[in-house]
Structure 1
């Protein structure tokens, strides 16, 4: 067994990959909320509330936006669930199919970024709806991949529970030291959103590339353990 797994902590590379994925989800939200349909790409709790408000105000356009985001997220997560069914990760490696799903997310984001650039960062209403659904699907795939990755992963598209856990554990337990990676994730979310917003303001046609580049970087980081033999000297097993 890898000594890091024996210690009960995920590999450093995987923790770093999670941080980068959080930054990617942060970068997706300004595109979704500021430039598309004023809903969130990855925070479905907020979208459910926005849907309720839209229904209460009888605003059909806002209802459509929220439904598209919810549907896209659900499709993305559902596809990942089918692809990764029965695959379990370890504390030092994510399953190859999880990496494959993240690579698929990057491809979907790349297609969206290309279309976004082709429209000069100002797509029409129908195009906005399509991009909104696709961006939400990408975030759903990312969220589903992190669930399938198991104990070596963490939520990357919603951090409310992460923040609450960090506060409660930090204040209620004098002996347990809070996870130092959590502040990095929270900071990455802010940084990703800030960078994407700045690019959206200064070079809107290129804003779509920011989350795509970050997801690609996370896949490369998470794939690093596959290039290093296990501590036992066993070769990585092939996955059908």
Structure 2
């Protein structure tokens, strides 16, 4: 009997313990089981080769994870636009609140309209002593109009390339003041593109040919949010 542990081969006759090796004292059964486990673990491949395979598998796993993450980061603004579109179609104000920074959009639109009012009033400021009062009054009207227009329903209407129309007097920002026609879907026919790492633009053509409306999304971490709307003034 050859010992699986030390390869000692007992001479015959051997009057020692038939279960143990007379040379190293190892039990034949335990030594044989341990040897089989070692052989099965390496599978006839050198130890260094196994280590290389393990490292190669980990590198492949990390590379695949990096590709998936990179693909998601590239597609994330398109996903956000789709989510905004679905929420606008469903007129889900709560969902739109997650994807649209309403305070920033209101401030941007106020700035655009006030600048347009000032530009139109420049030619009258010198000759009309009441022009400054008119500009101040117009600025107050702009604030009231933007508060009424920039609602989930109002933005959904702009996403369709339609002009805003009020039903009656201005309402609070939480109401659906603008009437929304159902002729087009939100972002229908829109062009989308990156304008930098953290800026994504959706260009919606105007149905009356007055110029496109640009919806600006900005990135925060790995998420995107609509933060600005540029009107064709």
TM-score interval for Structure 1 and Structure 2 normalised by the shorter chain: under 0.3
- Relative to its length, the structure with more helix (as a share) is 1
Structure with the bigger RCO (C-alpha within 8 Å, sep 6+) is 1
- Relative to its length, the structure with more strand (as a share) is 2
- TM-score (normalizing by structure 2): 0.24
